[in-house]
Amino acid sequence: MINLESLLLELSNAPGPSGFENPVREIMKRELSPFVDSLDTDGMGSLIGIKNGPSSSPNIMLSAHMDEVGLLVRYITDEGFIKFQNLGGWLDQAIIGQRWQILTSKRTVLGITGIKTPHVMSTDERGKVFKGENLFLDVGAQNKEDAENRLGIKPGDPIAPVSYATRLNDSEFILGKAWDDRAGLAVLVGVMESVKDSDLPFNICAVATVQEEIGLRGAHTSSYAVNPDIGLNLESGVAGDYPSISQYEAQEKLGNGPAIFLHDSSMLPNLKLRDFVIDTAKDSDINLQFNVLSGYGQDGAEMQKSFEGAPAINITVPTRYLHSHNSIINIKDVEKAIDLVGQCILQLNLEKIKNLKNFD
Ligand code: CO
């Protein structure tokens, strides 16, 4: 049996900004290989593990993305400070005052995003939001040459948040970075383990995608590599269970089980597939939550739109404080998400797949 907690901690700690997912891919290769018949990467680096069904059977694609929001070195100032480009959707305010690791070809370089000390600010200036274009990383370099030669920093080097995952005060909560979407990757591994001994009448394609945070890029190519008949995307959801966020904005609560998205700005789920997941949750005694988001994008949209199109749905682990150094999930929700997706796979058969794809 996989040790879910240690897998979650390892996945969260691994650095993997969009386009630089290698450390995460290595973990996923190791974790998926016992449960699949083949394991390959596509031309962009997404990892595709297939548990074969009978020949020419349909493809059930499960996906979760390996990348996290990060930064990238834009240039080094003459004084040795690092100006950067955001990778993914950061609030500038979440970038400030944090520790980061620059992943150079030589070594890992620790840096911090400093801001002007409040002692010298006017009252007016104190109330203002700092603009991203004025932010920088301090790596303790003497000057540009020192940053380049001693630390090995080059333009284009990826930068990941530094934040070590831990249980939050002996609760069911786990604190860490990158639950978006390392939580989904843990669900993917757990599901593949749970169905490993089942003879299924279809192929299960377990895909760990790249570059989701900058526009679902890896899911685009991997969906074409797989050609899914049904797509189940495994993601971090959006919790709305803390002060300052409303139920209207996000409905998921930590500890209440997995959720499905009924709307986000990238996709509408297939309604028959929605009902299939609802019924499966009910039959399996798993509490299922719903979420309707005005924004958000996720890899399910690419599965849905590949080739002639496929029924798809996004299944999530509720998460607080996404796209920051410190997000929180509940480990029980991860367990329940594994149960739900595993049950969905065991309940599927050729007739149900045909029916899900039938619009008559
Ligand atoms: Co995500």
CA 18–ligand 1 middle distance (angstroms): 11
CA 319–ligand 1 middle distance (angstroms): 10
Tokens (6 digits) for 359: 């619009």
| Residue indicated by tokens 């786990």 | 174
pLDDT recorded at residue 49: 98
CA 180–ligand 1 middle distance (angstroms): 4
How far is 329 from 83, CA to CA, in rounded Å?
32
CA 237–ligand 1 middle distance (angstroms): 8
Peptide bond just before 181 cis, omega within 30 deg = yes
For residue range 8-67, list pLDDT tens digits in order.
Answer: 999 999 999 999 999 999 999 999 999 999 999 999 999 999 999 999 999 999 999 999
- Sheet strand arrangement including 312-317: 38-41, 47-51, 203-209, 59-65, 230-236, 312-317, 259-263, 289-292
Query: Would you say domain 70-161 falls under CATH 2.102.10.10?
Result: no
How far is 175 from 156, CA to CA, in rounded Å?
29
CA 203–ligand 1 middle distance (angstroms): 25
Tokens (6 digits) for 117: 């000390």
Supply the DSSP string of 84-127, one letter for each residue: EEEES---HHHHTT-EEEEE-SS-EEEEEE----GGG--HHHHT
Backbone angles phi, psi at 204, to 5 degrees: -105, 120
CA 69–ligand 1 middle distance (angstroms): 9
CA 316–ligand 1 middle distance (angstroms): 10
How far is 203 from 242, CA to CA, in rounded Å?
40
Tokens (6 digits) for 164: 């070590």
CA 120–ligand 1 middle distance (angstroms): 39
Contact 201, 345 (CB under 8 A): no
Tokens (6 digits) for 103: 């992943």
- In the chain (360 residues long), the average pLDDT of successive 10-residue segments reads 96 98 98 98 98 96 98 98 97 95 97 91 88 94 98 98 98 98 98 97 98 97 98 98 95 98 97 98 98 96 97 98 98 98 98 96
Q: Which one from 68, 212, 302, 335 is the annotated catalytic residue?
A: 212
pLDDT recorded at residue 116: 84
Tokens (6 digits) for 28: 């996923």
How far is 70 from 162, CA to CA, in rounded Å?
10
CA 117–ligand 1 middle distance (angstroms): 34
Active site residue 10: no
CA 47–ligand 1 middle distance (angstroms): 16
How far is 280 from 345, CA to CA, in rounded Å?
10
CA distances to 52, 121, 203, 233, 342 from 196, rounded to whole Å, are 11, 60, 12, 19, 10
CATH homologous superfamily of 4-68+177-356 equals Zn peptidases (3.40.630.10)
CA 260–ligand 1 middle distance (angstroms): 14
Contact 299, 233 (CB under 8 A): yes
pLDDT recorded at residue 125: 87
Q: What pTM, to 2 d.p., does this model score?
A: 0.97
Domain ranges of the chain: 4-68+177-356, 70-161
> β-strand 166-167 against 173-176: which pairing, if any?
antiparallel
Which contiguous run of DSSP H or E holds residue 173?
strand 173-176
| Residue indicated by tokens 């383990």 | 193
Contacting residues for 27 by C-beta, under 8 A, at least 6 apart: 10, 11, 14
CA 265–ligand 1 middle distance (angstroms): 13
Tokens (6 digits) for 230: 């049904």
Supply the DSSP string of 143-168, one letter for each residue: SHHHHHHTS---TT-EEEE----EES
